[in-house]
Amino acid sequence: MAARSTVPSVRGRKVRRGDVPLVMVTAYDAPSARMVDAAGVDIILVGDSVAMVVLGHDDTLQVTVADMAHHTAAVARATPSSLVVTDMPWLSYHVSVADTVTNAAALVRAGAEAVKVEGGRKRVPMIEALVDAEIPVMGHIGLTPQSVNAMGGFKVQGRRQDAALALVDDARALEAAGCFSIVIEGVPDEVGRMITDAVDVPTIGIGAGAGCDGQVLVFHDVLGLEERVTPKFVRRYAELSTEAVRGLSRFAEDVRTGAFPTEAESYSATRTDPASMRGLYGSAAPVD
Ligand code: KIV
């Protein structure tokens, strides 16, 4: 069995020191958490991408702390060995430091071992308060999906030199505030490398090139379950949506033609002890 991933074990991972890159994948419920954990990933991210890939919204702005706690609890029930990190949703860490800590505490009580917040230097007071409250924080800079309206869409960030340097400053500020790792999303490869070189905590890239200390993808993208949009940075490792439709179509066909169920999928009072059937159906146990 793989050793449990912890915040200190993740914090120390840096490719330039000879470490193997970190692997993070999202999960939003117990079955997906069991699969991701069985695959041996280091970190499970209960991402606010749940809003888009599970709940059908067009952005991540629609989920609340209660939604994120609900999904975090389902992931935690799978008792994964991977570290469980939960996204703080939009507006749960923007209003006041006190609200930020209270909202993060709700996620920790639901099963998160750390929280992730989007944004650079302006988040420092919130991050410091969380770290003071013993809540580990993962940062997230570059293309921050909660800023979709402010950015004018899901757009690659840091293409200009001043913007790239500002991202490096952001990463340094997040590290100094106590973040144990930083997600870098949607920046040119060179900028991903610059940021990674500038900090001693691991960077985890998504659309940020091969120079990061780890990579993260969304469960539904890796497995071919999300077909509406496929960003350039996604590589699919399975086509589960196609396979699922094939399986469900076969079930529908079998029901319609009478091929399902057969005796193998049916109960029979002559083959089963009626007393044990009561365990299944109460006193109304079916008998032939
Ligand atoms: O919500 C999410 O899935 C994320 C990843 C894209 C990093 O924040």
Write out pLDDT tens, residues 95-150: 999 999 999 999 999 999 999 999 999 999 999 999 999 999 999 999 999 999 99
Q: Would you say residue 138 lies in a domain?
A: yes
In short, whether 89's Cβ falls inside 6 Å of ligand 1 is no
Domains identified in the chain, total number:
2
Q: Does residue 92 carry a pLDDT above 60?
A: yes
The answer to whether the CB of 285 falls within 8 A of the CB of 274 is yes
Between CA 49 and CA 229 the distance in angstroms is: 13
- The mean pLDDT of 50-62, rounded to a whole number, is 97
Q: Does residue 84 carry a pLDDT above 80?
A: yes
- The mean pLDDT of 222-228, rounded to a whole number, is 89
pLDDT band at 56 (very low <50, low <70, confident <90, very high): very high
In short, whether 186's Cβ falls inside 6 Å of ligand 1 is no
Pocket test for ligand 1, best of 59, 75, 185, 212 (most atoms within 8 A of CB): 185
Catalytic residue among 134, 185, 239, 263: 185
From the number of C-beta atoms within 10 Å of its C-beta (0-12, 13-18, 19+), residue 59 rates as middle
Q: Does residue 192 carry a pLDDT above 80?
A: yes
In short, whether 224's Cβ falls inside 6 Å of ligand 1 is no
Q: Would you say residue 278 lies in a domain?
A: yes
CB-side neighbour CA atoms (13 Å) of 283: 0
Domain identity same for 81 and 191? yes
Domain identity same for 159 and 207? yes
Is 226 in the active site?
Answer: no
- Beta-sheet pairing, 43-46 with 22-26: parallel
Q: Whose C-alpha lies nearest to ligand 1, atom 2?
A: 47
- Which tokens hold the place of 207? 């659309």
3-class DSSP assignment, residue 138? strand
Question: Which ligand 1 atom minimizes the distance to the CA of 218?
Answer: 3
- Which tokens hold the place of 121? 């230097």
Domain identity same for 233 and 247? no
Domain identity same for 236 and 247? no
Between CA 178 and CA 244 the distance in angstroms is: 43
Q: Would you say residue 265 lies in a domain?
A: yes
Q: Please give the residue range of the domain that contains residue 272.
A: 243-284
Question: Which ligand 1 atom minimizes the distance to the CA of 26?
Answer: 3
User: What percent of the chain clears pLDDT 90, i.e. is strictly above it?
Assistant: 90
Q: Would you say residue 252 lies in a domain?
A: yes
Between CA 226 and CA 243 the distance in angstroms is: 13
In this structure, the dihedral spanned by the alpha carbons of residues 207, 213, 219 and 220, taken in order and rounded to 10 degrees, is 10
Domain identity same for 226 and 273? no
In short, whether 117's Cβ falls inside 6 Å of ligand 1 is no
pLDDT digits (tens, 9 = 90+) for 235-273: 999 999 999 999 999 999 999 999 999 999 999 987 656
Between CA 230 and CA 224 the distance in angstroms is: 9
What spacing in Å lies between the alpha carbon of 282 and ligand 1's midpoint? 46
In short, whether 118's Cβ falls inside 6 Å of ligand 1 is no
3-state secondary structure 198-216: HCCCCEEEECCCCCCCEEE
Question: Which ligand 1 atom minimizes the distance to the CA of 47?
Answer: 1
User: What percent of the chain clears pLDDT 70, i.e. is strictly above it?
Assistant: 93
